[in-house]
Each structure stands twice: as structure tokens, then as C-alpha cells.
Amino acid sequence: MNVEAILHMKAGIGESSYAQNSSLQKKSTDNLKGLVIDSATRVYETLRPESFTIADLGCASGTNALGVVEDTIRSIGEVCCSRGSPPPEFYVLLNDLPTNDFNTVFSRVPEVTGKLKADAKAEVFLSGVPGSFYGRLFLSRSVHFVCSFNSLHWLSQVPADLRDGTNTPLNKGKMFISSTSPPAVAEAYRRQFQKDLSLFLKSRAAEVVPGGRMVVSMLCRETEECTDVKTTLLWDLLSDSLAALVSQGLLEQEKVDAYDAPYYASSAQEIEEEVAKDGSFSLDYVRTYEANLSNGDAKRNATTVSMAIRAIQESMLSHHFGAGIIDALFHKFTELVTESMEKGEVKSVQIGAVLVSDPYPHRRRRAPFPLRRYE
């Protein structure tokens, strides 16, 4: 699977679009709203640039794309107003893969920038930047503040080494790490994540100004065990849904065995290790938090989760299995998720982190910030 060419959120504003099915992502982003505002205003107050550049990596196509940017600009505008000084000009860079539905995002730009100009006296200039964030995207030392939400758990590619010497899939019947997966499967996923996060950090180190900050969040796990059920349950249910289609004669087992998802839910320790290994950023803050998705009406919540996952994964599933099985697949998936919801089993764990670019990159490496950890 060429992830960069295939992966994209469901386009448009229809019933099954990502724009209509990203409420769960908004809730997770709202959990970090205070952290985002604090981090962005710290950068501005420290550096006081005449123009302030914000990059949103993995912006997708829903209303969430401009929400964080709008909050950030307003907060900096309030700081300037309280001191009687004009706000800086803002340059906003919205990034996602080339197949992203940027048009849906751009359709809201005049409304958002108009409000910011009227309310915060802020001049905002915006551009879309298509490309993978596992590589360079922006000019050197040009970005003051970076945010990335619900994106870094997607890998640049399906991990290598998921087949044995005879080209037989190691993870038969599963599309992600499961309790039945051989240890080699988890190791392959871990290696790919380490490689990708290293590329991400090196790329951003070249682009972020000294003293700039990044706020990132992604799905994660609470333990060092890759088979943590909070991480694997929904993937297992999606695999079980494919198995049901095989039993109905709608899919071939070989086709299911050959499908692997380009996804990895890391632990906080793995992220800390990669940040320390790279050395370009200090990890200033890290927090893991759990969301219980099983509260309230089980069927309604299951439908919300199923539609959200469909809006995210339909492009990859359709590419591999064909679009004809999607409706049947998610009908079964919704049934299985509802059963798990009724048992209170469906949970989500995320990590939020703040990374600070070394303000003295050409001097001897200073001691890192004391890490503020909240579990």
C-alpha cells in the first residue's frame, strides 16, 4: 500500500464524510486546548516576531482543521491587546497528504479570517501544503508553532517484515497487532514507528525556529505491552467483521490475510526515548488520558465510533478489498462494537505532549527541561 497516495479522510460534507464524523477527534483536541494556547503564547512572548507562523500537520478536512488555529491566534491577539501593541501578522500552513480534501477546508477560510480580522485585529494569511510530514515541508527556521492532532499514529507505510521467508503473512486474519500475533509482528510495527518518528523530528528540527514549540497528540497505549486491549479491541473487531464477510462468501481469506494497517499506538516511554535520541527538542510536558467511549446509549455510541472509523479508513479498505464490501463490513462492525459498548469495553487512550526547539542549537547542548508528566 502506497500510504501517501491512498490514505485520506472521507471527502466532502455528506453523511459518511469525515467532516460529519469527526466529533470524537474534536473532543480529544479540546482536551488539549489550554495546552495549545499556553504553548503558542509562550513562543510569541519569548520571541516577539513581527510575523508568526503556525503549522497544522494532518489538518484533515473537517471543521476541526481551523478551530485550533483560530483559538491560537485569538489568544495571542488578546496578549497584544492587553499590552496595547498590535498583533503580529499570522501565516498559517495547513498540511495533509496530497489526497486530502483541502477544498472543504478552504471554503471556511474567508469566514474564519474575516472574524479574526474583525475581533482580534489580526491579519491572517493561509496556505495549504500537501505532503507527508515524515519529511521536509517548510522553509528552514520558518515556523514558530506546530500542532498535530490525531495523526502521528498513522505510519508512513505498512511495516516491512510482516511475511516469512516463503512470503506467507505472519499475522493471518488480523490487520494490526493482536493477542494472537507472533512477537515479530509487534517488533516490525515498533521499528517502523521509531523510524517514522525520527524522520518527523529531524524534519521539524530543520523547520522550527530556535525556541519554537510543538504540541502533538496521538492515540497511544498505557502500558508497554503492544497487546493492551484498549489499543487493540477496535482493530480486532474490524478483523472479526472481515472474517464474517469471509464466512458469507463475500471475501477470500487470502485477501484478508494480506491486509495490514499502517498504524501504531506507542507508549509514552517510546516517545520520550525517540525525542531524547534525536536531541533537537526537549520534551517539556506529557500527559496520557483515557476516554470511555461506552458511556450512555450503546447503539448510538457504537454508530458514532463506526462512522468515524469508516470516514478515516474507507480509502485504504476500498483500495484493498474493493468499494463493494464497505457497507456490509461496517454494518457488521457496528453490531460488534455495540456488543462491546454494552459491556463497557470500548475505551480510547491518547497522549498529549509539548516539545520545545533548542533556543541555542549551535551551542553545547543544555540540560533538558524538567519533564512535566501527568498520568
- Average pLDDT of adjacent 10-residue blocks, the chain of 375 residues: 89 86 85 92 95 96 84 93 93 96 91 91 95 97 96 95 89 93 95 97 97 95 89 95 96 95 95 94 91 82 94 95 96 96 90 88 47 48
pLDDT of residue 363: 52
Question: Helical H runs in the chain?
Answer: 3-6, 23-30, 33-47, 64-82, 102-106, 109-120, 183-207, 229-247, 253-257, 268-278, 298-321, 326-342
User: 363 burial class (0-12, 13-18, 19+ CB within 10 angstroms)?
Assistant: exposed
pLDDT of residue 14: 86
CA gyration radius, the chain: 21
pLDDT of residue 368: 43
pLDDT of residue 367: 41
The pLDDT tens digits for 83-140 are: 989 999 999 999 999 999 999 899 999 999 999 999 889 999 999 999 999 999 999 9
pLDDT of residue 158: 95
pLDDT of residue 296: 79
